[in-house]
Structure 1
Amino acid sequence: MSAAPHPLAGGVIGTWIKLPAIESVQIAAHAGFGFVVIDQEHAPLDVRTAYELVTVADALGVLPLVRVADGRPSGVQRLLDAGAAGVLVPHVDTVDQARDAVSAVRFPPVGRRGAGGTSRAGRWGLRSREEYLASGAHSLCIPQIESREAAGNAGAIAALDGVDALFVGAADIGLDVGTPPSATEVTDLCARARTAAHEAGKPCGAATASATGARALLADGFDFVVVGNDTSMLAEAAVATVAGVRNGGTP
């Protein structure tokens, strides 16, 4: 029997969810996004809200990922027990930090995630212990590469057992090196991380604000792309609507 395809391979596109509203996830699903990333790092979303957004995404057949605020095991565990398909862990610069992320996601003996079989992930105790623990092997651990140091360590990070993909953050790499995200140095570091992920047999993703940017990233060889976010899409549509009424479409 052939292995199941990686859920983040093949050019799948997703979007950030920053609003505490299930409608954002519903709209993303109806629009055709393959996954959503519920953003706890740069949006004020608490665990209960993330739980509700994950549940809606899962019910609509959209892969629910969560970008956690940090890699603390307690936060990661609660989101995985809420039913998140995986987590993006910000600012993983070193192999040791990547090991910590893996440990937070995986059950023993691979990691240190605690058993919570009475959670949603365990169907509130209706899943057998064996089924619940086996499901944890499919939880996605995705370190974010967001600095020059991280890009240099990307190969070793991607090669770790338990790391399922890398996600490259060009904006933060730009902040780290002191240049705009479009600068050659940043794009070279992103390309280095992408190549390292592929050499380890892992997908690599990135983010962009537009469909044009997403097409470019996919053409460059990124396997999955996060395009825009619910708040910016709403803001841009609002500005365009007002401009269209007041001055014929000129913002």
Structure 2
Amino acid sequence: MKSILKQVVAVSMLSALAMPVMAQDAFKAADFEYGPRDVVEGEMPIWNTAKQKILAGDDLVGVTIEATDPRTYCAAANAGYDFTWVEMQHQATSWESVARMYASCPKATAAHGARLPYVDEHQVQQALDSGATVLVFPTIDTEEEARMAVQWSKFPPFGLHSQGGGQRWGMYADVPGGYRPTANANTVVILMIETLEGVENIDAIAKVEGIDALFIASGDLGNFSGYKQGEPQYEDLVDRITAAANANDIPLCGPLAWRADREGFSCFQAGSEASLIRRGFASEAEATARK
């Protein structure tokens, strides 16, 4: 009897092993419905003062930061500018230094910002983890570059930004609506058009969703074209960028000198803290000199 039972069990096990495994339905990320975890009920809070100005159509002025001294940074960030433009493209500054500056005055009147060296997931992650809420991307030449700049800057489901860690969670712990649910609406993305390729693709670039402003890089536009401001060839490039921005209701940025010289610009890059310190010293020396 035991022998028969063993044979029955063995046959049953072999039969079970021979049965086909029921495959699950193939998972498709595109068909997945994003959950309600980070949904904001009611009106989206806009706590970033730089974003508030953009939405209101007011002028937005960023002060360029090239030094890494937190005291200098905080003095500039509380001097009346709208955002800080920490220079990461043309300066040998580390993100550790940037994070230290942001942390020294987290509640500065200016929104913390940076010009990144290029479009890259790691660079964007470092900037946002450090506490930046204004991101300036240089040398945007194609629609794909523009799209990835936005994608890396925004959390899902709109973008691909990793939640990660960093000091931003402490800096913005008390913002209305909470940081994670409101971050996409409060992160400012500014794209710089500097090359002939950028001008060639400007119509497609300007149609990318999520761009807050387009910056006409006055110096490099001359560098890449070989013409000076005021010359017809240079002004034609400016006009093409301007037309694309206007057609898509995107604010235009330029150097602070253009605030008085050109119509249609509402976003500007001011000089560096070094130039401001130098002018301040010069002004005091002149004012106190013996007559």
CA 1:184–1:125 in structure 2 vs 1: closer, same or farther (change >3 Å)? Answer: closer
Within the alignment, does 1:122 sit opposite 2:169 as a pair? yes
Mapped contact 2:44–2:182 kept (Cα < 8 A): no
What is the aligned partner in structure 2 of residue 153 from structure 1?
201
Q: How far apart in 1 are the matches of 2:77 and 2:166?
A: 25
What is the aligned partner in structure 2 of residue 140 from structure 1?
188
Amino acid at match of 2:261: A
The number of residues matched between the two structures is: 240
> CA offset at residue 79 of structure 1?
0.9
Q: How far apart in 2 are the matches of 1:224 and 1:125?
A: 24
Give the gaps of 5 or more residues in structure 2.
1-42
What is the aligned partner in structure 2 of residue 216 from structure 1?
261
CA 1:11–1:191 in structure 2 vs 1: closer, same or farther (change >3 Å)? Answer: farther
Amino acid at match of 1:227: A
Q: How far apart in 2 are the matches of 1:110 and 1:234?
A: 41
Match of 2:85, SS?
Answer: strand
Alignment counterpart, residue 276 of structure 2, candidates 221, 230, 233: 233
Q: How far apart in 1 are the matches of 2:260 and 2:109?
A: 23
1:117-140 per-residue CA deviation (whole Å, 9 max, x = no partner) reads x3222238968xx94432331212
Q: How far apart in 1 are the matches of 2:246 and 2:73?
A: 30
Q: How far apart in 2 are the matches of 1:81 and 1:63?
A: 15
Q: How far apart in 2 are the matches of 1:202 and 1:83?
A: 25
Q: How far apart in 1 are the matches of 2:212 and 2:244?
A: 13
Match of 2:146, SS?
Answer: helix
1:25-51 per-residue CA deviation (whole Å, 9 max, x = no partner) reads 333244321222111111222101111
Within the alignment, does 1:26 sit opposite 2:74 as a pair? yes
> CA offset at residue 240 of structure 1?
6.9
Alignment counterpart, residue 124 of structure 2, candidates 54, 58, 76: 76
Q: How far apart in 1 are the matches of 2:237 and 2:123?
A: 29
In percent, how many aligned pairs have the same letter?
A: 23
Q: How far apart in 2 are the matches of 1:48 and 1:98?
A: 26
Match of 2:150, SS?
Answer: helix
Q: How far apart in 1 are the matches of 2:120 and 2:44?
A: 35
Q: How far apart in 2 are the matches of 1:144 and 1:175?
A: 14
> CA offset at residue 56 of structure 1?
4.5
Q: How far apart in 2 are the matches of 1:56 and 1:199?
A: 41
CA 1:29–1:231 in structure 2 vs 1: closer, same or farther (change >3 Å)? Answer: same
> CA offset at residue 113 of structure 1?
1.3
Within the alignment, does 1:62 sit opposite 2:107 as a pair? no
CA 1:44–1:165 in structure 2 vs 1: closer, same or farther (change >3 Å)? Answer: same
> CA offset at residue 181 of structure 1?
4.1
Q: How far apart in 2 are the matches of 1:216 and 1:195?
A: 18
Q: How far apart in 2 are the matches of 1:101 and 1:190?
A: 22
Within the alignment, does 1:93 sit opposite 2:141 as a pair? yes
Moved more, 154-163 or 51-60: 51-60
Q: Taking structure 1 as the reference length, what is the TM-score of the superposition?
A: 0.81
- Runs of 4+ residues over 6 Å off in structure 1: 124-127, 239-246
What is the aligned partner in structure 1 of residue 53 from structure 2?
7
Match of 1:161, SS?
Answer: coil
Q: How far apart in 1 are the matches of 2:243 and 2:52?
A: 17
Mapped contact 2:78–2:110 kept (Cα < 8 A): no
Give the gaps of 5 or more residues in structure 1.
none
Q: Taking structure 2 as the reference length, what is the TM-score of the superposition?
A: 0.71
Match of 1:103, SS?
Answer: helix
